[in-house]
């Protein structure tokens, strides 16, 4: 039987939109924006998009946030 590798569908994202971050973390949009304003969650602005790096969200959820 051939060895399966990760397909593009199963790659972990590098960053999440606000809506995606809310979905995967079970936090609300308002709560995410509060964490961002408190400096506990990093964001990157690319054009008009606000992206949350997956590593920053992971650190927050695992209790390592600022």
- 64 pLDDT more than 80: no
Residue 50 maps to a domain: yes
Residue 6 maps to a domain: no
Q: How far apart are CA 41 and CA 39, in angstroms?
A: 6
Quick one: DSSP state of residue 42?
-
Which residues lie below 8 Å from residue 25, measured CB to CB, with a gap of 6+? 32, 57, 60, 61
Question: What's the confidence (pLDDT) of residue 57?
Answer: 96
Domain count, the chain: 1
The CATH number given to whatever domain includes residue 53 is: 1.10.10
Taken as a whole, the chain contains a residue count of 66
Question: What's the confidence (pLDDT) of residue 3?
Answer: 55
Question: What's the confidence (pLDDT) of residue 2?
Answer: 55
Residue range(s) defining the domain that contains residue 18:
14-61
- pTM beyond cutoff 0.75: yes
Question: What's the confidence (pLDDT) of residue 9?
Answer: 65
Residue 8 maps to a domain: no
Flag the least confident range among 3-7, 38-42, 46-50: 3-7
Residue 7 maps to a domain: no
Residue 2 maps to a domain: no
The overall average pLDDT reported for the chain is: 89
Spatial contact of 27 and 41, defined as CB atoms under 8 Å apart = no
């Amino acid at each position: 039987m051939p060895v399966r590798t990760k397909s593009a569908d199963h790659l972990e994202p590098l960053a999440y939109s606000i809506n995606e971050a809310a979905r995967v973390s079970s936090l609300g949009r308002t709560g995410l924006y509060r964490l961002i304003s408190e400096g506990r969650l990093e964001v990157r602005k690319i054009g008009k998009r606000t992206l949350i790096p997956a590593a920053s969200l992971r650190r927050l959820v695992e209790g390592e946030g600022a």
